[in-house]
Every structure is written in structure tokens, then in C-alpha cells.
Chain A
Amino acid sequence: MMDNVLDVKNLTMHYMTRKGPVFAVEDVSFSVGRGESVGLVGESGCGKTSIAISLLKLLPENADIKRGEIWLNSTDLVPLSESEVRKFRWRHISMVFQAAMNALNPVYTIEEQILEAMEQHMGYMSEREMDDKVDGLFDLVGLDPGFKDQYPHQYSGGMRQRAVIAMALSCDPDIIIADEPTTALDVIVQDQLLKRIRKIQEQLDMAMIYISHDVAVIAEVSDRVGVMYAGHMVEMAPTETIFHYPTHPYTIGLMSAFPSIVGEKTELVTLPGEPPDLLNPPPGCRFHPRCPYATGICKEKLPEFKEYEDRHYVACWHPGGEK
């Protein structure tokens, strides 16, 4: 892969709980090129947010990266200590959190919080330059810079989301991770925001990982899509390919779950069963209990995540549903 901003190899992360280890992320590999937008899609609990916090090494006390490498430009973040990682956070890789409403500290103004990040990483800038940059960021996300000295509770939900995005962009990161940034908003605001995010990303030629459980949203913002299931990456391909030629049985089910408003009415396809309990995942391929094409080998051995076609990766013993 040439000129990749992010290269993730065999990332494995577990949580330790009272009842034992939860195998949240298992052997995930993918990469993000410069200016590329990669979408991560999957149900709740499939590991997408866990990957996100692993990339920034923002793990809670009971979580551990067990194996793997996270190459940000030319540095592997995994073996770095907390104080070393801090230099990379926000400056090279930043994040827009889920429920960004609460991601803002209620006792400081928006301006103060953005400047805080900039003072930390862009200390060479003068006060004047920083102020101008904040104004610029506000314009970029569609906020009136006159409001920058207000407090989070004075903003509406959509405004807060934009503010958080502005904050994430403030240090000109190489890659930004957006974890379900529009989930809590109404559809109209969501639409506006999505278009703006896509525009910003293309304008700044910035790499982005967009996480969502909403397949339609992913389709709108991503160049490539990765499908997550039960902690594994089961398929990854350019957006068109994923939608028109899904290969993994789970992806097939996912794509078919959307009724189309054009064309004939077809029966809605549903996936029976539920995602597995990650405390006690099933042996072999984690999808096999729900898979209509499952055979003996699926129950015993974990399929490898490998190239099926050009730039199209799948982890399945029977890709495309072949028996």
C-alpha cells in the first residue's frame, strides 16, 4: 500500500470484566489512504467503537490491546507509552465522538475548548493566528463565529455537533474518526451535516473513518466500506462493490435488509438470531450460527480475511454463498 495514513494490522483488543474477558476486537486489519474515506458499518456491539478508541489508545482501565500494530504514517502507536501517544492525539489523529452533545465541557466556552487543543499542539501560532483559525473553522462547519464565546448549553444539538467537528479539525489532523456523529440528530439536520462533512473531507483532502450502524449514511460518505461482525472484520471493498456485489453472507443480509423505493416490491429479507455474546463467542466463524451457508468447517476454523477480488477482501469459507 503506498502512502497510507493509517495501517492497522491484526489489531486485537479485550475488555476484562467481572465475568471474564470480552473479546471485543479480534484480528482486524485494514488501511486508510491519504484523503480516503473509509466507512465502518455493523450492529451495536460489533466492535466499531472499540476499534476507534483503540486507534487513539483511549482505552479504559480494564481494556488492553493484546496484539497488533497501528501504523500512523510511519509510527506504530501500540508500543508507545501514554505520554508519547499524547503527542499524536488530535494533532495527527482526532475524533468526533458518539453523542457529541456531552463531549463538550459545560463550564468552558466553545472557543476556550478549541483554543485549548490548539495551544497544546500548535503552540508556534500566535494568539491572533489562532483566533483567525477558529473563525475559519466555524465558517467551515457552518457556524457563525460570533457565537464562539458562548457555552455549550446555549447551542442547539446540531450546532454542538458542528462545534465538535470544528474542534476535531482544529489541529489539521491527518485522519479523523467520526463515531456516529449524526445518530442523535433529526434526519434533516443529519442530511445537512453529512453533506457538509463530505465536502470538508474532500476540500481538506483529509482521511476519514466514518463509523455508523446506518448503512445508508455510510453509502453517502465513504469511498470504501468495512463490515464488522462480532469483533471481526468480515468484508471490505469499495462502496459500489459492497452494495452491488456483497460477498459475505452477513453483508448480503445487511444490504438486503433495506427496502428500495424504486423498482418492484420484494419481500424483506431478515437475519434470524442475534449477534453472539462476546464473553463466549462461538468457535470457528462467529457468524456460523446464523449463516444459511454454514458447513462443518465454518464451525471449527476461523476464516482468514483475504483478497477475494481486486481490493475486495472477505473472511468466509463460502464467499458469495457458494457451497
Chain B
Amino acid sequence: MWKFLGKRLLQMLVTLLLFQAVTYFLIDAQPGDIADLLAMDPNIPPNERARLRAELGLDRPPVERFLTYIGNFYTGNLGVSFEEYPTKVIDIIKERLPRTLVLFVTASIVSFWTGFITGKVLAWRRGGFIEYASTITGVTLYTVFTPWFALMMIWLFAVKLDWLPAGKFLDPVEWLDAPITANLVFARMIWTALAGLVVMFAGFLLSNRVERRYRTGLRLASVLLPVGGVLLYWWDSGLALYGWDILSHLILPVLTVTAIAYGGMMLLTRTSMLETLREDYIMTARAKGLSEKVVRDKHAARNALLPVWTGLVFSIGGSISGGIITETMFSWPGIGLALLQAAQVADIPVAMGAFTLLGVMTLVSHLVADVGYAFLDPRIRYT
């Protein structure tokens, strides 16, 4: 198991380096000196420009330049933004990364879970109106033009119903006399949420190992306790209002990305279930006198999960793309929006930094998915 993990980690590192090499030389291959691209911004005063040139090694032969670039990258020096000179690219990324991560991770998990459950139930009942209706819904969500969908969500929830804000990270008016910065509040939100989830997860794992009669009670406790604890913390800290402001701005973007990813998951699960249902062990399970629900969930769905999980790997790219579009539509200040804005004004350092980071995110997601698959399929683990 660990050997497998180590091997994959190594592969990931190699792929990452290759990726950076390709990206780097992509820019290098552009007409014009890369020095021009990275440092010749008229906003930068000349002596700064010279210093940058030296620091980034722009007056050296290509291979050395590349190595300097890599060295700089891994020590956190990604250059300086053109647009927002003299802000360092790394600072921009540090500020924006958590926001994109929250969006991406939440949407991925929720869409996978809901899509899988729906697809599983729908596959069990073939034919009829339900099948066509769900196919149409799934396909629509999957292929709808994302900006349009985002606009419709905004129009519905923010304009018509006025339940949620229409975009951006927070409402500046609310924060005029805030004791700490929004980024810190956001960071705390993430930590408390993670802590709560860990407790919940641990509780569920534990509940599978105790005797049957304690299970429901334990599960209930492992949901209520963390939720209660988190709410208590926020109430006590006096920051609840600020937390809520951020949260309310978070809901709509997350909902949008989730809804779109949901369609694909649901359709894939249904297809996978249909294939699994043809297997012989399904008939064995029924012959054993197990209830329909157990056959469907414990036997069929558990095996149908495998191709769906693989499909998740493929859909990560789409989720990230969808995330970029959503960030743009909602003016959610994350990495995706940074990339787009940078591209629109040819702010190469920021564009490169954001792009590389998205690549890293994809790579890590792939790794997690691959490792996850090994957990799910014993045939991979023990061969």
C-alpha cells in the first residue's frame, strides 16, 4: 500500500516538473524576450527592472534560466505582478487560494455525493417517465452554458427573491468597523469547519465498529456535537456576523458549481449502475434473500462506484474550468478570476502563477482520486 503511494507521489512530482517545463518554454517560445514579458513592464522603474532581470536570471542561457525559475518557484518567488506592481505574485496567490479551494472542494464533494445517490436510485427503476425526466435534467445541467446558468441563479436568488447577495466576497459596508481582516475570518471559518468535519467523520467510523444498538445514537451525536460546537465558537467570539456575511456570499457560487457538476455525476452513476446490475453477483445477492435496498447499495452501488470514481478524476478538469467561470460571474476573488483578469491585461507573471497553481491543484486532486480508488478496489491493492 505504501509502496503504491510512494510510487504515485514520485510520478506526480515528475509530472509537475514536466508541466512547469512545458509551461515555461511555452512562454519562452513566444516572440520577444521572456525578459520583456516578465520584467519589461513600463510601470516598473528602470533600476527595479535591472534588479528583477538579475534576480530572475533573465540574462542567462535558457536552461539556466529555467532552473532559476524552478528554484525561485519552489522558494516562493514567482515574480511581481505587472498590474498591481509592486505586489508579489505569491502574495496574490496566498490570499486567493483558500477561496478557490473552498469553492472547488465543497462543490466536488457535494456534487459527487448527491449525484451518486440520485444516480444509484434512478438506475434501480428503469424506464418510464422518471428515466427520461432525469436524463433531460442531468444532460441540461451538464451542458448548460455556464455563464448563462450563473446569471440565472443570480437573477433568481439575488434579484427576484433577494435571498442572497449577487456576487463578490463580502459586503464592504458591513465590515467598516471589523476587528480583524476578512481573510482571517475566512481562515477561521475554514478551520472550524474542518475540525467539525473531522469529528463527524471520526464519529461515523467509530459507529461502524460498535454494536448495532449504539450506532444510531452515536451517529446522531457525531453530527450534533460538532455543529453545536462550531456554532458555539462563533457565537462566543463575537465574529458571527462577519462569518455570516462571508458565508452568505459563498452559498450561491458553491451552489452553481455544484449543480453543474451534479449532472455529470448523476448520469455517470446511472450508466455505471446499469452495467453493474448485469453482473452475476447481483443475482447471487438476491438469491441470498437480501432486501432490494441492500442488494442495490451494498452490492451494486459499491461496485458501480469504481468507474464513477474514475470519472470523477476526469471531471476534475471540468470542475476547475467551471470554477473559473463561476468566479468570474460572481466576482468571487479566487485564483480563477486572477487568471482571467491577468490574461485580459497580459499580466504574465500573475497569469503564469495562477495557471501553475491550477495545474498543481489538478495534479493533487488526481493523486487523491487515484489513492482513493486503491482503497475502493481490493484488486488494485492486493495484486
Contacts A97-B283, A104-B284, A121-B289 known; list 12 others, CB within 8 Å: A56-B287, A89-B286, A90-B289, A99-B280, A104-B281, A105-B284, A107-B376, A107-B377, A120-B289, A120-B290, A151-B379, A154-B382
Closest to B284 in A: A103
Contact across chains for A95 and B287 when beta carbons are under 8 A apart: yes
Q: Nearest Cβ in chain A — how far from B381, in angstroms?
A: 9
User: What are the residues of chain A within 8 A of B192 when measuring CB–CB?
Assistant: none
Residue B302 lies at the interface, judged by CB distance under 8 Å to chain A: yes
Contact across chains for B279 and A116 when beta carbons are under 8 A apart: no
* CA–CA, A150 and B291, complex, Å: 25
User: What are the residues of chain B within 8 A of A86 when measuring CB–CB?
Assistant: 289-291
User: What are the residues of chain A within 8 A of B286 when measuring CB–CB?
Assistant: 58, 89
Given A86-B289, A107-B303: A58 and B377 interface contact (C-beta under 8 Å): no
Residue A91 lies at the interface, judged by CB distance under 8 Å to chain B: yes
Contact across chains for A89 and B287 when beta carbons are under 8 A apart: yes
Contact across chains for A151 and B378 when beta carbons are under 8 A apart: yes
* CA–CA, A87 and B290, complex, Å: 9
* CA–CA, A102 and B282, complex, Å: 10
Q: How many A-B residue pairs have CB under 8 A?
A: 70
* CA–CA, A104 and B288, complex, Å: 12
The total of chain B residues at the interface (CB under 8 A) is: 23
Contact across chains for B302 and A89 when beta carbons are under 8 A apart: no
The B interface is mostly helix, strand or loop, or mixed, namely helix
User: What are the residues of chain B within 8 A of A82 when measuring CB–CB?
Assistant: 292
Residue A153 lies at the interface, judged by CB distance under 8 Å to chain B: yes
Contact across chains for A103 and B281 when beta carbons are under 8 A apart: yes
Residue A106 lies at the interface, judged by CB distance under 8 Å to chain B: yes
Contact across chains for A87 and B289 when beta carbons are under 8 A apart: yes
Residue B299 lies at the interface, judged by CB distance under 8 Å to chain A: yes
Q: Pick the contact of B288 from A99, A116, A151, A154 — CB < 8 Å?
A: A116
Closest to B282 in A: A105
* CA–CA, A185 and B246, complex, Å: 65
Q: Mark A132-157, 1 if CB is under 8 A from B, else 0.
A: 00000000000000000011011000
Contact across chains for A105 and B287 when beta carbons are under 8 A apart: no
Residue B285 lies at the interface, judged by CB distance under 8 Å to chain A: yes
Contact across chains for A116 and B290 when beta carbons are under 8 A apart: yes
The A interface is mostly helix, strand or loop, or mixed, namely mixed
Q: Mark A155-174, 1 if CB is under 8 A from B, else 0.
A: 00000000000000000000
Closest to B283 in A: A58
Residue A94 lies at the interface, judged by CB distance under 8 Å to chain B: yes
* CA–CA, A120 and B292, complex, Å: 13
Residue A305 lies at the interface, judged by CB distance under 8 Å to chain B: no
Given A97-B280, A99-B280: A106 and B287 interface contact (C-beta under 8 Å): no
* CA–CA, A107 and B303, complex, Å: 7
Binding site for B on A (CB under 8 A): 56, 58, 61, 82-83, 86-91, 94-95, 97, 99, 102-107, 116-117, 120-121, 150-151, 153-154
User: What are the residues of chain A within 8 A of B292 when measuring CB–CB?
Assistant: 82
Binding site for A on B (CB under 8 A): 126, 279-281, 283-292, 299, 302-303, 376-379, 382-383
Q: Nearest Cβ in chain B — how far from A102, in angstroms?
A: 4
* CA–CA, A303 and B302, complex, Å: 50
Contact across chains for B287 and A94 when beta carbons are under 8 A apart: yes
Q: Nearest Cβ in chain A — how far from B208, in angstroms?
A: 13
Given A90-B288, A120-B288: A106 and B283 interface contact (C-beta under 8 Å): no
Contact across chains for B289 and A91 when beta carbons are under 8 A apart: yes
User: What are the residues of chain B within 8 A of A58 when measuring CB–CB?
Assistant: 283, 286-287
User: What are the residues of chain A within 8 A of B281 when measuring CB–CB?
Assistant: 102-106
Q: Nearest Cβ in chain B — how far from A136, in angstroms?
A: 19
Given A58-B283, A99-B280: A106 and B288 interface contact (C-beta under 8 Å): no
User: What are the residues of chain B within 8 A of A94 when measuring CB–CB?
Assistant: 287-288
* CA–CA, A103 and B126, complex, Å: 23
Given A151-B382, A153-B378: A103 and B288 interface contact (C-beta under 8 Å): no
22 contacts between A and B (CB under 8 A): A58-B283, A58-B287, A83-B291, A86-B289, A86-B291, A94-B288, A95-B287, A103-B281, A103-B284, A104-B281, A105-B299, A106-B378, A107-B303, A107-B378, A116-B288, A116-B290, A117-B288, A120-B288, A150-B382, A153-B379, A153-B382, A154-B382
Contact across chains for B288 and A89 when beta carbons are under 8 A apart: yes
User: What are the residues of chain A within 8 A of B382 when measuring CB–CB?
Assistant: 150-151, 153-154
Sort A-B residue pairs by CB-CB distance and give the 9 closest, nearest first. A89-B289, A102-B280, A86-B289, A105-B281, A103-B284, A151-B378, A117-B288, A90-B288, A90-B289
